[in-house]
Amino acid sequence: MSDVAARVDEAAAAGREGALGFLQELIRLQKQGEEAVQARWAEAARALGCEVEHRRYRPASIRLREEFALEEATATEERVAILARLKGTGGGRSLIFFAHPDGEPFQPDHGWRHDPFAGAVDGGRIHGWGVADDLAGVATMIEAVRAVVVAGIRPAGDVILASTPSKRHARGVHGLLHGGVAADAAVYLHPAESGVGMREVKALASGQLIFRILVHGRPPETSEPGHAAFAHTAVNPIEKAMLVVAALKALDARRGARVHHPALHAAIGRSTNLLIGNITTLGDGRASRVAPAVRLSCALSFPPGEKLAAVQAEVEAALRDAVAADADLRARPPELTFVSGVTGAEVPLDHPLWRATSEAVRRGTGTAPEINPLHTSSDIRNPMVQSGIPCVGLGPLCGDLTQNGGRDEWVDVADYQRGVAVVAALIADWCGAR
């Protein structure tokens, strides 16, 4: 082990309790809101010698590449992304770390056993609202830089930290990337509920298309409150929706046979899927009445290399074929709405970023990392798709995520502390240091 690496490791080990304390601070500040978390994060970055900048933006005003979302799905209020830069001495490679400070909306009737804003440690796990989504990531980058600074290391390349809103298409990192922030590589710091923690690296993110299809019906011509006796004279949208479902299932089967990505096939035996996640009748719910319409809500995952527009065109073609085959659908064509879409991206295993990250993880955990390619629409795609900057993702072991309907969201304390050491080592290796 080099002298630089040993000094960084020692500093990270000595700062373990401080790293835990900073994460607990952020959890407690959540009660005051995102602005309080961001203010404390900026204060910590400034104390480490970083140049700190607040950038205000409106998510809907940011022009995106290979990505879209309806206005109804996009945050509309003004947001603040915070950028902190530890200037390098020159001659090294630069590196962006980013994570998001915003979590799921607080639920007063949360049903937690632990106080959501106490940062309690129980059984080696720290609990808190948003601790895994994504306060642990926000804290990790500060504490990793702290380890580098305490070790007396001066990175040659710039280390760029970004605390950027992300939830509900808040597009914080997009705003920075399209606002001129650039680097030789990027790392997204976010725990994953995969059960592996710091022993995995996210180096592949599939794209995802979210869409709705509204299938219209026609009630019987009667003023009777019950429609059962007249059902043969109506157009039942549930029955017609089944025709659309069949067309979507056929599309899914064709794509499953045609689209192939080696990493996805090795992990799960399939490279693309079309999920019909929800079917809703828009009537009053009574069994004795024909509903006016049925709405299908769908998600389609697709691997890196496929274009978003091409996938949209396939969905449109499948729906056209279903309509052409049925007179009732032709008379009242279903309405297709694309709600949101993102394009996938990946870092190959022979890329210098993968090699440097893999080595940092191996040193920090004692195990060579594995790739989890199943994080559909992960934010690691953003630097790659928006700016052509290679990006991977890291994060400690976590569980019971609020966004997954869990309770008592947690992060493993030891793995979080290992994560700080891994990120500090990556800074020293990638950016160059003395």
CA distance 124 to 101: 23
Instruction: State yes or no: pLDDT of 242 exceeds 70.
Output: yes
Q: Residue 80: its pLDDT value, please?
A: 94
Which residues, 6+ apart, have CB-to-CB distance to 49 below 8 Å?
Answer: 86, 149
pLDDT digits (tens, 9 = 90+) for 401-410: 998 899 999 9
CA distance 110 to 336: 36
17: how many CB neighbours lie within 10 A of its CB?
Answer: 9
pLDDT digits (tens, 9 = 90+) for 302-342: 999 999 999 999 999 999 999 999 999 999 999 999 999 99
pTM: 0.94
CA distance 167 to 412: 23
Reading the block at residue 372, the tokens are 């989890």
CA distance 57 to 76: 10
Label residue 306 left, alpha or beta by phi (over 0 means left) and psi (-120 to 50 means alpha). beta
DSSP state of 9: H
Q: Residue 72: its pLDDT value, please?
A: 83
399, 407 contact by CB (below 8 A): no
DSSP state of 229: G
Pairing of strands 185-189, 391-394: parallel
Phi and psi at residue 200, to the nearest 5°: -130, 155
Where do the H-state alpha helices sit in 164-275? 172-178, 237-258, 262-268
Q: Give residue for tokens 């959501």.
A: 116
Burial environment of residue 386 by CB neighbours within 10 A (0 to 12, 13 to 18, 19 or more):
buried
* Helix (H) or strand (E) run with residue 151 in it: none
213, 319 contact by CB (below 8 A): yes
pLDDT digits (tens, 9 = 90+) for 90-108: 999 999 999 999 999 999 8
Q: Mean pLDDT, to the nearest integer, of 58-84?
A: 90
Pairing of strands 391-394, 370-371: unpaired
Domains and CATH numbers, the chain: 3-205+345-431 (3.40.630.10), 207-342 (3.30.70.360)
369: how many CB neighbours lie within 10 A of its CB?
Answer: 24
Q: Residue 193: its pLDDT value, please?
A: 81
Which residues, 6+ apart, have CB-to-CB distance to 333 below 8 Å?
Answer: 323
Which range, of 162-171, 181-190, 204-213, 251-260, averages the lowest pLDDT?
162-171
75, 168 contact by CB (below 8 A): yes
134 upstream amide cis, omega within 30 of 0: yes
Q: Residue 9: its pLDDT value, please?
A: 94
Maximum Cα interatomic distance, the chain, rounded to a whole number of Å: 86
* Helix (H) or strand (E) run with residue 417 in it: helix 413-431
Q: Residue 434: its pLDDT value, please?
A: 75
Residues paired with 98 in a beta bridge: 162, 188
CA distance 152 to 146: 10
* SS3 of residue 372 by DSSP: coil
Average pLDDT over the chain, rounded to whole? 95
pLDDT digits (tens, 9 = 90+) for 418-433: 999 999 999 999 999 8
Instruction: State yes or no: pLDDT of 36 exceeds 80.
Output: yes
Instruction: State yes or no: pLDDT of 232 exceeds 70.
Output: yes
353, 392 contact by CB (below 8 A): yes
Q: Give residue for tokens 């994080």.
A: 375
Which residues, 6+ apart, have CB-to-CB distance to 305 below 8 Å?
Answer: 261, 344
CA distance 136 to 301: 27
Q: Residue 372: its pLDDT value, please?
A: 86
Q: Residue 1: its pLDDT value, please?
A: 52
Q: Residue 168: its pLDDT value, please?
A: 85
